[in-house]
Amino acid sequence: MLDDSRRVIVDIKGVAKHYGIGETRVDALRNLDLTVHAGEVVALLGPSGSGKTTLLNIIGCIIDPSEGQVNLDGELVYDNLWLRGDLRRLRLDKIGFIFQAHNLLPFLNATDNVALVLQLAGKSRAQAQARAQELLDYLEVGHRARAMPALLSGGEAQRVAIARALANSPRIILADEPTAALDSKRAGIVMDLLRKLAAEQDACIIAVTHDEKILDRFDRLFHLRDGRLEDDKGEGK
């Protein structure tokens, strides 16, 4: 059972996002609150156009909210002092992304795909390679370290993508349909792995998913409807 005394990693208060003005104004998110703790694995559910991707983009420091506060691992982002480079650095240091289609760079092998993130963060090549190999071994794809993405199976590629997301030991892992390209057995394995990682690394995982087979693997489910958020008990904003 979830322990609410654990550290808050994502704390969103009164966040709204509007596009357009006047009659063409679209409210993608309305006065939305969300708190996610370390070790938690939560799902964002909702129909297409409900605002899931917008929320993921705001937490991922990709787009700024029109209103409200976003606190990520103790840092209040999107106030006037944050520059684009600062947000990039925050993404690099504190946020890991897992994509629906693994999005590995096709011209780098598995190790280099993982090591790239570490080198961008300032690690030496040797350090980055060692840490990448360690992560790939941990995710049981170490034997495919030299393989190019095109030669990896769907499951292997997704594990390498997870290794890349974990490379800088992020506090927040954002996953966009992480199991969409996998069969139910592999989807279950990936979810178990994410849960284990969240617990071990004291990170939180926020996933957008439509995959009903894996919903029981999440600590909490949030439903987005017309830009408003409800938790699995139908509460919240």
Partner 1 sequence: MNLAWRDVRHNLFRFLLTCLGLGLLMTVVLAMMGIYNGLVSDALNIVKAPQADIWVVEADTQGPFAEASKIPNDTRDAVARLHGVAQAGSITYQTVEAPFEGATLRLYVIGYERGRLGGPQTIVAGRGLEASHFELVADAKSGLTPGDTITLGRNQFQVVGLVRDTMNSGGDPAIFITLADAQVLQTQLAPPAARVQVARGAAATGGATVAAVIARLDPNVDAQSVAQTVRQWKHLSALTQAEQEEILIKSVVDKARKQIGLFLGILLTVSAVVIALIIYTMTMEKLKQIATLKLIGAPDRTIIALIVQQSVALGVVGLSLGLILILTVKDYFPRRVLLEPVNALALTGIILVVCVLASGLGVRAALKVDPATALGG
Residues that bind partner 1 in the complex, under the rule CB under 8 A: 53, 56-57, 60, 62-63, 85, 88-89, 91-93, 97, 99-101, 103, 105-108, 112, 115-117, 119-121, 125, 148, 164, 176-177, 180
- Assess contact for 51 and 224: CB atoms under 8 A: yes
Number of C-alpha atoms within 13 angstroms, CB side, residue 78? 21
Q: What are the Cα distances from residue 220, in Å, to 45, 52, 75, 200, 214?
A: 11, 15, 24, 18, 12
Please state the closest distance from residue 21 (CB atom) to partner 1, in A: 21
Please state the closest distance from residue 28 (CB atom) to partner 1, in A: 12
Please state the closest distance from residue 1 (CB atom) to partner 1, in A: 31
Residue 218, φ and ψ in degrees, nearest 5: -95, 150
Distance CA 128, CA 122 (A): 9
Please state the closest distance from residue 147 (CB atom) to partner 1, in A: 13
Q: Which CB, 6 or 88, lies closer to partner 1?
A: 88
User: Partners of 46 in the beta sheet?
Assistant: none
Distance CA 213, CA 134 (A): 30
Q: Which CB, 39 or 204, lies closer to partner 1?
A: 204
Please state the closest distance from residue 210 (CB atom) to partner 1, in A: 12
Please state the closest distance from residue 230 (CB atom) to partner 1, in A: 23
**Strand ranges inside 38-171, DSSP E:** 41-45, 67-72, 75-77, 95-98
Q: Which CB, 69 or 100, lies closer to partner 1?
A: 100
Residue showing tokens 């992020």 = 170
Residue 141 CA, chain-centre distance (Å), reads 21
Q: Which CB, 43 or 115, lies closer to partner 1?
A: 115
Q: Which CB, 37 or 224, lies closer to partner 1?
A: 224
Distance CA 103, CA 24 (A): 34
Q: Which CB, 97 or 222, lies closer to partner 1?
A: 97
Q: Which CB, 63 or 193, lies closer to partner 1?
A: 63
Q: What are the Cα distances from residue 136, in Å, to 71, 139, 180, 235?
A: 31, 5, 21, 39
The pair of structure tokens assigned to 8 is 């808050």
